[in-house]
Structure formats: structure tokens, C-alpha cells
A and B are shown apart, each in its own frame.
Chain A
Amino acid sequence: MATFLIPILILCPLAASLITFVSAGRMDARGIGMVACAGVGISAVISIILSVMLLSGPVTGVLQVTLWPWMHMPGFSADIAFMLDRVSMLMILVVTVVGLLIHIYAASYMYHDPGIARFFACMTLFVAAMLVLVLASDLLCLFIGWEGVGLCSYLLIGFWYDDPANTVAARKAFYMTRMGDVALLCGLLLLVTATGGSLRIGTVLAAVANGQLAPSGINMAALFILVAALAKSAQIPFQTWLPDAMAGPTPTSALIHAATMVTAGVYLIARLHDLFAMAVPVMALTAVLGALTLLMGACTALVQSDLKRILAWSTISQLGYMFLALGCGVWQAALFHLMTHAFFKALLFLTAGAIIMRAHHEQDIFRLGGLRHTMPGLTAAFVAGASSLAGLPLVTAGFYSKEMILSGVWSAHFNLTHGWTLSGPPLWGMALLGAFLTALYIFRCVFIVFCGKAGTGAAGRTSRLMSIPLGCLCILSLCGGVIEMPDTLLPLHLFSGLLDPTAVLSHTHQPAWLVMAGAGAPLAGLGVAWVLWGRSSPVMREIPGQAPVICPVRTGRGMDALYHYAFVQPFCLLAWLTRLDILNHAVTGTGLLIQTASARIFRARADFLGRLAIQATRMIRWAGHLLGLLHNGRVRWYAAWIAGGLCAGLAMAVLS
């Protein structure tokens, strides 16, 4: 049954993609939307069936399907093979269910766009690629999905290709992630060499556990994979592509650049957590980079003025949380946060899309304002998402997942080489500060957009097709978190028990004030935001804009400019300089040189030989003139010459 269902699960969106692509211009927008939603919907149903099958089986059971051998040869074998275990079950549920909701929303959102067929072709293709990524049991097979989602992301960011800025953003996203892909490829090569020819995840992890890899090899492999994950998930130092990626349509931002694709890096590391557990320095690096990214993302989001960019930086920051959790070894917490983040960030993006659509495509939060009067429903949805993002205690899903991460970080400890150690509490402090900042920036956004005096007028109303997904996501992002709670509140560990029943996380030895602090930070952030921006007479409506410190941060261009001058410009310049191929010049130049030189030499020689040649020529011409007299063109004369010559010849031959 499973061998049949898993391929169908992937084929459904793929078929929808093909149908929508081929039918471009022949099917109306309604039909295309229905085909796409049907494709993703069927796979959502199948993934629920599969989850039920998996959970009803034994605790450590997995469903395996090997479709066909991909490359088999001495020293290497790879298969097109899929595996459904509890981690990938979580992922397919997130991908298909959130994906379905976003598709339903998009069917209405993109209804009037002429390129709707291309849009849905790419979106469904993305879902298929993402499913390949999360289901693959062979790392090389995973790589198909890994690159496939990158390609779909590129196509969708540059969806409105009429504006060159969009296609530039699309290419930037692809190039940045491509660097990570190359690193992943190198990591795979290293692993396959070490394991003796297989990239099956089980084989790789077993080889690592058996000590087939030297510690340095493990560290290198983990580092390569970490770089890949950092690039895909837009962490430091690759974070610059994600804010630009907001050039795509909003459903794309919700699905690809918030809920699923950018979390692929988190998934990959969680999938290989046994490998990472052996590479302590890389784990520490992951944690530190995650902590730095979450602070940087939050700070940058605090000074943005573009609604979608605020959400993009917030995504980077939240992904930082997940990387922090991964680095501290609590990958269950990372996946839990991945799930809740998918809910609330998709909700925020979709709501933002609906707001922007109704506010005449105005994305600047300072020109919006007072929207709670004109769009109360959207306000409620956005506030629900924002509370979940901020992690307001008890009532939101974000609170529980963030709490799980915080408690995991607190008890982390890294034994680095040469007696260096890194312990959890400093990282925990950074994460807590990040939680405060998160609440601050998202409620700043809420207060500016929904309170105060009215800005741009609103038009139309949100269609029902768009409201239904918003409602579902509201419920999920508020209540999706109660399946896992801190011990202080209630010893409920459904989620971590679901993921890994053999090793349920327990935080029994932690003081209660940790939870208090984790709950207090968002509330403090909310309070400060209220004081600064929310009251009827806000302390400041706008951050002093043109301060030199703020400016590069606000545009988020600091790193961009650095990369631009450090890498892009030199590359372009060098490429431009050599575009005509220096080697070509070299060869052509040599030819030219030889030609010139021989011409020179010839001219020099002409002085010596010239006179001789001229004399010779004159004599030859004179002789030729004489001979030419014989050459009068009359046939009879020629015949006479022949006859005479013949006679003379014969006479000589006979007489001699």
C-alpha cells in the first residue's frame, strides 16, 4: 500500500504542474486553480492516510519504497528511493496541508493575473520537489529535491519578469543557494567516499556510528552540509537573498520563503542529527551562527518600513532560532518550531498579501494605518499571527515551541578542542533578547498598520476563498502548540514522543524561572511596543529615519553592499575584461606578430635580392617575347612546328 501511495503522493502535484503548464492559454484561470488545488489536495489526503498508517505501525517503523536503481556501479550505488519515517511524516504534513491552504488562497489571489498557469505550474512543481526532498531516503535523491525547490523558487521570485529588479532578485536567490548546493555536493562526495559507495541515509549514519569516518572527516562533512543548510535557510552569511526574494507573489513568499523551502536546511540537519552530534565544533558553530542570525534578523526587522520585508527578516530571525536549537542538539525543538513557524508565518504572509491587495498595493507600513476599522477580519488574523510569532504565553503555538528551544539551549554544553568550552546560558540570553525584540518589532508593525489614523484607503473585500485558509491557519497558529509543553506547566510531550519515542526530551532539572523569563520577554516587548507606537499619542511614530547607523540596516543593504563590492563587482569586472577571451587574443596576436615580422623581413631582403630579381625578370620577359613570336595562334603553323620537330627528332634518332 505504502509502496503505491508514496509515489502517488509525489506524482499528484507533478501531474498538476504538467497539466497547468501545458494548458497555458487553453484553460481559464478557474480551471487552472482547481487543477492545482486538486493536485496538492490529493497529496494532502494521501499524506494524512500515510501518517495514520505509519503511526498505527510499530514505534520505530518506517515505510520504505525503492522505485528504481539510479546509478549502480562498482564503488557506488544510488537509488530513487523514498522513506517515510516520523520526521518526514511531519514534513509532508506541513508541506501538503499548509501548501493546500496557500494554493486555495492563491487561486483567488492570482485570479486576474495573465500568467496564472505559469504560477501554478511552478507552485505545484515546487510542492513535488519539496516532497522529494523530505521523503528521499538517499541523499543524492534528496539533492534532486534540494535543487528542484531552488529552481522553483527562482522561477517564482522572478515571476513578474517585466521588472528587471525582480529577475535580479530571483537570480541572486539562486546564486546564493547554489553556493550552498555546491557545498552539499562536496559533502555528499566526501560521505560517499567514506561509506564505500552508498548515500542511503541509514547507511551513512551507520557508517558514522561505526567510526568508519575519521573525526576530521565527520567535521568536514558536517561543515559542508551546514554551509548548504545556511545558504538554503538564509542564515549568516547568506542572509541577503531572502529579503529580496519578497519580489515574488505573496503566496510564493508564504509557501516557499516562509513555510517550507527555507526550512529545508533545518530538515536536512535534523535528518542527519546523528552525524552532527559527532561534530561538536560544527554544532557550536551552528548554534552561534543561529544566535547571531536571530539577533541580527530581529534588529533589522525593527527598522524596516516595508511590510513584506519585515516578515522576511522575521523569517530569517526565526530560522535562526531553529539553527540555534539544532546546534544545541535539540532537533525535536527545531522541528517543532519549524511546524509552528510554518503556521504563523504563512498566516502572516497571507494576511499581509490580502492587506496589500486591498490597500492598492501599498507595502509601506507608514502609509498604511488605522486598518482595524476597515478590515477587522484581517486585523484579527494578523494579530493572531503576530502573537504567535512573538510567543505570547499560553495562548499561542509560538510560545510552546520557543519555550522548548529556550530550555534546550539552557542545558546545552559544548566541549571544543584544547579545553575551550561553550555553555548554553550565554546563548540562552541571546535567544531571550531575541524573543523580546521579536515581540517589539512585530507589534510595532501591528500598531503602526492597524492603529492610529487611517492611511491609504481600503477597497473591495477579501474573498471567501481567501478567508478560509486564513481562518484555518489562525486556528493552527494559536492552538497548534499545545501538544508539547514545558514540564513546569504540564508534563505533556506528545510532539517529541511522536518524533522519537525512544528518546523523549525531558527538562525536569530546570528551574521554573526559566519558563517565567521566556514568558515575560515577549510580554515586555509587547508593552514597550505599546508605549512607543501603540498609544493614542505614541512616543514615536517613526524611527528617526536618516541616522547613519540606521540607514544601512533599514535597507538591509549593509551586507549586500559588502558582497557587491567584495565579490560581485570584481567578478563582473574580470569577466567583462576577459569577455573576448584572453587566450583567443594571445593566439590571434601571435599569428599577427608572425605575419608582421615576416613582412618586415621580406621587405629588408628585397633590397639585396630585389635588383637580382628585377634583372632576372627582365631577361625572362625578353626571352618570353622571342618565344611568343612562334606563338602566333595559327593552327597550321603549330602543325608545321610539330611536324618539323618530329622530323628533326626522328632524324636525330635515326642518324645518330
Chain B
Amino acid sequence: MPAFSFNDTLLLATALFSVGLAGILVRRNMVFMLMSLDIMLNAAALVFVGAGARWHDATGQVMFLLILALAAVETAVGLALIVCLHAHGRPTLDADTGNLLKG
């Protein structure tokens, strides 16, 4: 008898995802945006783990490990980009100042 039902897990994951999304949409600081991204990734990972527990399948945990690695890489690359930008003489962390893609 699991402590949480699958529905609870999904609810928690949705909540986490929403927090992450909101974080991305409202924060302009790039570090915080990265953190929000990680929260969203973890929400997805949580669903995998929950699903794995629900159907007694190890694949879910494997996917979790994969996403963990992906998140680590993503954070590393994101932080590296930020450091690079800083090194190229860009004193701010404000994401809205960069709009080269503007149509």
C-alpha cells in the first residue's frame, strides 16, 4: 500500500510544473529562469517515477535517471552561457534585454 496514490503524484507534479512555468514567465533573472526550468523537468521526472511505481516497471526509474542527467547538462550549459555572456561584457542577468530574434 503506497503512501501516495498515483493521482496524488500527478497532482503534485502538476503543481510543481505550474510553479516552474510561472517562475519562467514572471522572473526576468536568467538564473531564476534556469532554476524554474529544472523544477519543470523534475515535475516530468516525478510523473515517470510515479508511473513506474504504478505499473511496477523499472523503465520509469531509468527515464528518471536520464532526465536527471539531462537536467544536469542543461543547467551546466545554461550557466556556461550566462558566464560567457558576462565575460563578453554584458553586466545584466535580465533575459528581456536580449531580443536579437525579434522579427
Contacts and interface: CB of A to CB of B under 8 A. Distances in A.
Assess A/B contact in the complex (Cβ within 8 A).
yes
A629 B102 CA distance: 9
Contacts of A628: 103
A634 B99 contact: yes
Interface stretch (A196-204, A238-246, A548-556, A635-643): A635-643
B103 A636 contact: no
Interface string A619-655: 0000000011111111110011001000000000000
Contacts of A631: 101-103
A634 B96 contact: yes
B96 A643 contact: no
A634 to B, nearest CB: 5
Interface residues of A, number: 13
Contacts of A634: 95-96, 98-99
Nearest to B22: A643
B25 A633 contact: no
A116 B103 CA distance: 83
Contacts of A633: 98-103
B21 interface: yes
B51 to A, nearest CB: 18
A636 B101 CA distance: 13
A632 B95 contact: no
Interface residues of B, number: 14
B25 A632 contact: no
A643 B103 contact: no
A639 B25 contact: yes
Given A634-B95, A635-B95, A636-B95, A643 B21 contact: yes
A344 B102 CA distance: 103
B25 A640 contact: yes
B66 to A, nearest CB: 22
A197 B102 CA distance: 86
B96 A636 contact: yes
A627 B102 CA distance: 11
Contacts of B95: 634-636
A638 to B, nearest CB: 8
A347 to B, nearest CB: 97
A636 B30 CA distance: 10
B102 A636 contact: no
B24 interface: yes
B25 A627 contact: no
Q: From B26, B28, B96, name the one whose CB has the most chain A CB atoms within 10 angstroms.
A: B96
Contacts of B100: 633
Contacts of A629: 103
A632 B102 contact: yes
Contacts of A632: 99, 102-103
Interface string B68-103: 000000000000000000000000000110111111
A629 B103 CA distance: 7
A455 to B, nearest CB: 97
Contacts of B26: 636
6 contacts: A631-B101, A631-B103, A633-B99, A635-B98, A639-B21, A639-B24
Given A631-B101, A635-B95, A639-B24, 13 more contacts: A630-B103, A631-B102, A632-B102, A633-B99, A633-B102, A633-B103, A634-B96, A634-B99, A635-B33, A636-B28, A636-B96, A640-B25, A643-B25
